[in-house]
Structure 1
Amino acid sequence: MNCAQAGAGALFLGIDGGGSKCRALLANEVGRELGSGTAGPANPFQNFEQACASIRQAADQALTDAGLASADLARVIAGVGLAGVNIPRIHQRMSQWRHPFAAMYLTTDIHVACLGAHGGEDGAVIVAGTGSVGYVCRHGRSHSYGAHGFPFGDKGSGAWIGLEALKAALLALDGLGPGTALLPAIEGRLEVDGLDIVAHMAGARSRDYAALAPLVLECAERGDAVALDIVRAAAAYFDHLAAKLLGHGADRFALLGGLARRIAPWLSPTSRAALVPARGQPDRGALAFAMARAATAVAEPG
């Protein structure tokens, strides 16, 4: 991918920022990768200042990895894909950030994930991780489903699976629901007994619930009826998402996120037939976004 319009010697940076970490990938004007960096969370909806600091830290690391100085940020054209910027006020605030780059183009984390998964081409993705979302982009038009956040949305996600398992385990504990291997499994993982589960999980975040999802999948794979119901419900939701995405004209989708490998076998034959492996990571998608935008659009001011 060539971006001669940006000028010889230009540097391009792809940033993928989410609730747990921020990744940066640096390339030259012909797309040759030069360096990479990683920093902490970069979700401006959750913590704006932290997000900006993480972007800067990851960018600095990428420059260092490439043997360049921090001052070279002034030559960088950045494509930044972040969680939370689908919310208009967050997008506006992030757009007004006095970033250190020559230019910055802003989009969502799911957009750059889709670009990365399909090598910069049109396509669709379903994310099955701590949260969940379906996204399709065709001919410059995009549609997103889900991504409303836990506990209001994120059905089928690791956090949703963990919460459903906890509810089922507590019903079993009270004798109000069927017995399930989930109860001793959760007690063992949390190192608590009985109702101490409630005290232990008080104030828990989505990632804490998502940490229980592998237990649920293990119990389902061993034939536990309650765990099977939960996992099948998650898979059915992803089948529904896939049908929505394919209904927009996409002929394939990639399944991304920490649960992707484990949940894929539970999808319907129709969904699995349209499933393709991701070609690249979100930071590569952000890099492709930066180079494409630099050739066609005016940068947001720093």
Structure 2
Amino acid sequence: MEQLPVDGDTLYLGIDGGGTKCRAVIVDACGKTLGVGNGGPANPYHGVARALESIDNAADSALRAAGLPKSAKSQLVAGLGLAGVNVPSLFQIVKQWEHPFKEQYLTTDLHIACIGAHEQDDGAVIVSGTGSCGFSHVNGQSLILGAHGFPCGDVGSGAWIGLECVKAVLLDSDQLGPQTVLTDLVAEQLQARGIMIVERLNGAKSSDYAKLTPLVFSAAEQGDEVALRIIQEGADYLTAVARRLWATNPPRMSMLGGVSQRIVDWMDDDIADRMSEPLRQPEHGAVRFARTQHEALAEPVA
């Protein structure tokens, strides 16, 4: 029979809510992981109701994995790190949510990624996945660079690389730009050429463009000048982001996201060599954030 936690035992829920999925972990007061779970997209910028539902579902999934009933949700001290809440209006909406948890502490997905990567509050991260951005937190002061979203920003990300690839291929197709092997590679992957590429990508999401990223890296490694230009431009942008973040004097910096593992090799050597491996996943950073906030509020007033 499922048992509720003993009264007085504090359980922490960490939520990493992104634009494509939501990850959850439940940890006990000793730091032991009890269960992990997943949910759908949790960026309120793309729909508040859907984001909150994804958070709830991810929490339920983690509870099941921990062998706990849904009713235990009311005993969880939850740390939520969500994409999109760097927009002040969305932060307020989620903060005012009538959540099912014992306590809820909200911050950005960048903040919890940074905490998890360094297992401390101070540090810096560069994210290069489907999107891109930079973040540092030092002595209570945060700096966010980028995070403007696709297609407005996200330079050096998978979505940006994919879009630049498509633009170059279309120029080549119209004989208005340099020839590139990307034209044949894209034609093979999308089963389309010229204007048919535009039709195929009608309504495409950032993640759809990001699927073209491996083609660009492959072409660049073969010496294709167009692909080289795209990858180097993205790497130069991320190098500039790193230099601005280092100027805030963080103790460590890490690169996160699927594209980061490949594009770091194209960044300036002095920057690439200073990167540190992330220590924990963002959802564990959310747990640490929740625990810090909870314990601070529990401290007696002198």
TM-score between the two structures when normalised by the length of structure 2: 0.94
Give the whole-Å Cα distance in 2 for the aligned partners of 1:66 and 1:202: 42
Aligned to 1:208: 208
Tell me if the contact between 2:122 and 2:251 (Cα under 8 Å) persists in the aligned partners. no
Tell me if 1:284 matches 2:272: no
When structure 1 is superposed on structure 2, of 62-71 and 249-258 the one drifting more is 249-258
Q: Could you tell me which runs of 5 or more consecutive residues in structure 2 were left unpaired when the two chains were aligned.
A: 1-6
Deviations 1:83-116 (A, max 9, x none): 1111111011101111100000000001101111
SS at match of 1:98: coil
1:103 equivalent to 2:109? Answer no
Q: Secondary structure at the match of 1:31?
A: coil
Partner of 1:223: 223
Same amino acid, percent of matched pairs: 47
User: What amino acid does structure 1 have at the position aligned with 2:296?
Assistant: T
Over the aligned positions, Cα root-mean-square deviation in angstroms equals 1.2
CA distance in 1, matches of 2:257, 2:135: 13
**Which residue matches 1:3?**
none
Report deviation, 1:202. 1.7
Q: Where do 1:153-302 residues align within 5 Å?
A: 153-297=153-297
Deviation at 1:32, TM superposition (A): 1.4
Alignment of 1:36 onto 2:24: no
AA partner of residue 116 (structure 2): G
Aligned residue-pair number:
292
8 Å CA contact 2:78–2:101 kept in 1: the answer is: yes
Q: For residues 260-293 of structure 1, what are the alpha-carbon distances to aligned partners after superposition, in whole Å with 9 as ceiling and x for unaligned?
A: 1111111111111211111111001001111111
Asked whether the 8 Å contact 1:112–1:285 carries over to 2, the reply is yes
By how many angstroms is 1:15 displaced? 0.4
Stretches (4+) displaced over 6 A: none
Partner of 1:4: none
Q: Name the CA distance, whole Å, in 1 between partners of 2:257 and 2:281.
A: 11
TM-aligned CA deviation for residue 251 of structure 1: 4.3
| Mapped partners of 1:63, 1:206: distance in 2 | 31
Q: Deviations over 1:107-157 (max 9, x none)?
A: 000110111111134110000011100000111111000001111111111
- For residues 175 and 193 of structure 2, the distance between their equivalents in structure 1, rounded to whole angstroms, comes to 16
Higher normalized contact order (CA 8 Å, seq sep 6+, divided by chain length): 1
Work out the CA distance in 2 between the residues paired with 1:43 and 1:103. 20
CA contact (8 A) 1:251 1:274 kept: no
Output the CA distance in 1 between the equivalents of 2:164 and 2:269: 25
Are the counterparts in 2 of residues 129 and 157 from structure 1 also a CA contact under 8 Å? yes
Residue of structure 2 equivalent to 1:113: 113
